[in-house]
Amino acid sequence: MNFCVSPLIEKVHFPPISEVKEWLAARPAEGPELIDLCQAVPDYPPAPELTAHLGELLADPLTSRYSPDEGLPEARAALCGYYERKYGALIAPSELCLTIGASQAFWLAVVTLCRAGDEMVVQAPYYFDHAMALEMLGIRGVYAPFDEESGGLPSPARIEALIGARTRAILLVTPSNPTGAITPPELLAELYELARRRNIALILDETYNEFIPAGGRPHELFARPGWGGHLVHIASFGKTLALTGYRAGMLAASRQFIRHALKAQDTMAVCQPRITQHAVRFGVERLEGWVAANREQMTRRHDLFRHEFLKPGNPFHLAASGAFFAWVRHPFPGLSGRQAARRMLDEAGILCLPGEVFGPGMEGYLRLAFGNIHAEMIPEAVRRFRGMGW
pLDDT in tens, 295-343: 999 999 999 999 999 999 999 999 999 988 999 999 999 999 999 999 9
- Cα(first)–Cα(last) distance of the chain, in Å? 50
Q: Quick one: which H or E segment has residue 129?
A: helix 128-136
Does position 115 have pLDDT exceeding 60, yes or no?
yes
What angle separates helix 48-57 from helix 274-286, to the nearest 10 degrees?
Answer: 140
Gap between the Cα atoms of 203 and 106, Å rounded: 9
Residues 187 and 273 in one domain: yes
Closest to 243 measured CA to CA, from 270, 281, 213? 281
Structure confidence by residue, pLDDT tens digits, 199-222: 999 999 999 999 999 988 999 999
Residues 204 and 232 in one domain: yes
**2 part of a folded domain:** no
Residues 62 and 180 in one domain: yes
Structure confidence by residue, pLDDT tens digits, 226-282: 999 999 999 999 999 999 999 999 999 999 999 999 999 999 999 999 999 999 999
Instruction: Tell which of 246, 272, 287 closes a domain.
Output: 287
- pLDDT (average), residues 76-104: 96
Closest to 388 measured CA to CA, from 306, 309, 311, 315? 315
Residues 74 and 213 in one domain: yes
- pLDDT (average), residues 345-349: 93
**158 part of a folded domain:** yes
What are the DSSP E strand ranges found in the chain? 35-36, 96-100, 119-123, 140-144, 167-173, 201-205, 231-236, 248-252, 317-322, 325-329, 350-351, 353-354, 365-369
| 131 CB neighbour count, 10 Å cutoff | 24
Identity of the amino acid at 154: P
Q: What is the CATH number of the domain that holds 378?
A: 3.90.1150.10
Q: Which domain holds residue 190?
A: 48-287
Q: Which residues contact 335 (CB under 8 A, 6 or more apart)?
A: 343
**1 part of a folded domain:** no
**Total number of residues shown for the chain:** 390
Residues 166 and 34 in one domain: no
**182 part of a folded domain:** yes
Residues 83 and 194 in one domain: yes
Residues 282 and 355 in one domain: no
Structural domain count, the chain: 2
What's the Cα-to-Cα distance from 2 to each of 12, 13, 14, 252, 321, rounded to whole Å?
20, 21, 21, 42, 47
Residues 161 and 196 in one domain: yes
Residues 216 and 156 in one domain: yes
